[in-house]
Structure 1
Amino acid sequence: MNILVAGATGKTGLRLVRELKSKGHNPIALVRPSSDTSGLPSDIERRQGDLTELDDAVCDGCDAVVFAAGSGGSTGPEMTDKVDRDGAKSLIDIAGKAGVSRFVMLSSVGAGNPEDGGDLEHYLQAKHDADEHLKASGLDYAILRPVRLTEEDGTGDMRFGDDVDVEASAARGDVATALARAVDDPDWSGRVALMQSV
C-alpha cells in the first residue's frame, strides 16, 4: 500500500515509517521544505506539503493516510489549532476526495472528552475536534489514543480499550507498531481505542 505519513520526521513518525516499510508498504513522507529529513531512510519517497496550507493533490495515489503530526509542546494555541485541528481536518477532507481507503489518526488520551482547565485543555480540544471530523467524514478510519508517551522502542506488548490504565505510559515504538497495524487490519475499521504499553 502507498501510505502518506503526516509527521513522518517526528519522534513517532520516524519509527512508523520504518515499521510500514518492514511490513512491505510504501510509506510516503509528508515534509515541509524546512523539515529535517536526515532520520528518514534514503529510499523513502518525500512529498512536500505544509499542514497549514495543503495542496489538493497531496493524497493522490495514496491508499491510506496516517496523521502522526503535531505542532509540538513549545508552540502556542494558534499553531495548535492550525496543525492539530485545522491541518488534520484539511488532510481528512483531501483524503476523502482522493478515495483513500483508510485514515489512521494518532490522537491522545483525554481527547474523547476534554476537561476544562489544565495545561493540555486547548490541545485536547483540538485533537477532539479533529477526531470528530474524521468520524463524520465517511472515511474508513482508526483512531489511536495512547497514554503518556515515552521515548522507548517498546516490546510489542500492548493493551487497548477499556482495560488501559490512563496513568500508565506508551512507548513510541509500540505506538508506531499499532499505527502500522491499524492501516490495513480489518479489526481496526471504525475503531477508537486507548492504548498503553505493558
Structure 2
Amino acid sequence: MNILIAGATGNTGTRLTRELCERGHTPVALVRESSDTSALPEGAQQRIGDLTDLADDVTDGCHAVVFAAGSGGDTSAEMTDKVDRDGAKRLIDIAAKSGVDRFVMLSSVGADNPEPEGKLAHYLKAKHEADEHLKQSGLDYAILRPVSLTDEGPTGSVRLGDDVDPKGEAARGDVAVLLADAVEQDSWSGAIRLMETVG
C-alpha cells in the first residue's frame, strides 16, 4: 500500500514511516525542499510538498494518507492555523477528490472540546476544526487522540478509550504503531480513539 505521510520527518512521523516499511508498505514522505530527510528509512519514497501550499495531485497514487504533522504549542497562531487547520483541511479535500481509501488523523486529547484559554488552546481549536472537517468529508477515516507525547519507543502497553488519563503520557513509538494499525485495520474505520501509554 502506498501511504502518504504528512509530517514524515517529525519525531512521530519518522517512527511511523519505519513502522510502515517494516509492515511491507511503501511510505510516501511529504517533505519540503528544506526538510532533513536523513532519518527516513530506505524504502520510503519522497514527495515534495508544503502543507501551506499543497498541489492538487499531492495524493495521486496513494491508497491512504496519514496526517502526522503538528505545529505544537510553541508555534505562532498564524502558523498553527496554516498547518494544523488549513493544511490539514486542504489535504483532506485533495484526498477525497483523488479517491484515497482512508485518511488517518493524528489529533490530540482535548481536540473534541478545546478549552477557550491556555497554552494549547489555539492549537487544540485548530485540531478540532480539522477533525470535524475530516468527519464531514465522506472519506473513510480514523482519528487518534493521544495525551502528552514522550520520545519513548513502542511499549506495547496502551489504553484506548474514555478512561484515558488526560494528564497521562503517550510514547511516540506506541502512537506510530497505532497509526499504522489505523491505516490497515477495518476496526479503525470511523473510529475516534483517545490513547495513553500505561505501565
Q: Same fold (TM over 0.5)?
A: yes
Equivalence for 2:10: 10
Give the letter for the 1:42 counterpart.
E
| 1:163 CA drift (Å) | 2.0
Query: After the TM superposition, which residues 164-175 of structure 1 pair with which residues of structure 2 at under 5 Å, given as runs?
Result: 164-175=164-175
Q: Distance in 1 between matches of 2:35 and 2:70?
A: 13
The Cα RMSD (Å) is 0.8
Equivalence for 1:41: 41
Equivalence for 1:84: 84
1:54 aligned counterpart, secondary structure: coil
Q: Distance in 1 between matches of 2:147 and 2:24?
A: 28
What's the CA shift string for 1:112-153, capped at 9, x where partnerless?
000111111100000000000000000000000000100100
Q: Distance in 2 between matches of 1:9 and 1:93?
A: 23
Conservation of the 8 A alpha-carbon contact between 1:154 and 1:197: no
What's the CA shift string for 1:88-131, capped at 9, x where partnerless?
00000000011000000000000000011111110000000000
| 1:42 CA drift (Å) | 3.4
Conservation of the 8 A alpha-carbon contact between 1:5 and 1:66: yes
Matched, 1:151 2:151: yes
Give the letter for the 1:51 counterpart.
L
What's the CA shift string for 1:138-189, capped at 9, x where partnerless?
0000000000100100311111111211111000000000000000211100
Conservation of the 8 A alpha-carbon contact between 1:4 and 1:65: yes
2:162 aligned counterpart, secondary structure: helix
Matched, 1:194 2:194: yes
1:43 aligned counterpart, secondary structure: coil
| 1:71 CA drift (Å) | 2.1
Query: After the TM superposition, which residues 1-198 of structure 1 pair with which residues of structure 2 at under 5 Å, given as runs?
Result: 1-198=1-198
2:51 aligned counterpart, secondary structure: coil
| 1:31 CA drift (Å) | 0.2
Runs of 4+ deviating beyond 4 Å: none
Give the letter for the 1:170 counterpart.
A
Q: Distance in 2 between matches of 1:177 and 1:184?
A: 11
When the two structures are aligned, how many residues end up with a matched partner? 198
* Structure 1 stretch displaced more, 58-67 or 161-170: 161-170
Q: Distance in 2 between matches of 1:117 and 1:6?
A: 28
In the alignment, structure 1 segments of 5+ residues that lack a partner are none
Q: Distance in 2 between matches of 1:36 and 1:73?
A: 22
Question: What is the TM-score of this pair, normalised by structure 1?
Answer: 0.98
Conservation of the 8 A alpha-carbon contact between 2:26 and 2:43: no
Q: Distance in 2 between matches of 1:63 and 1:70?
A: 22
What's the CA shift string for 1:46-74, capped at 9, x where partnerless?
00000000000000000000000012443
Q: Distance in 2 between matches of 1:17 and 1:142?
A: 18
Identity across matched positions, percent: 70
Conservation of the 8 A alpha-carbon contact between 1:156 and 1:174: yes
Q: Distance in 1 between matches of 2:72 and 2:171?
A: 18
Conservation of the 8 A alpha-carbon contact between 1:182 and 1:188: yes
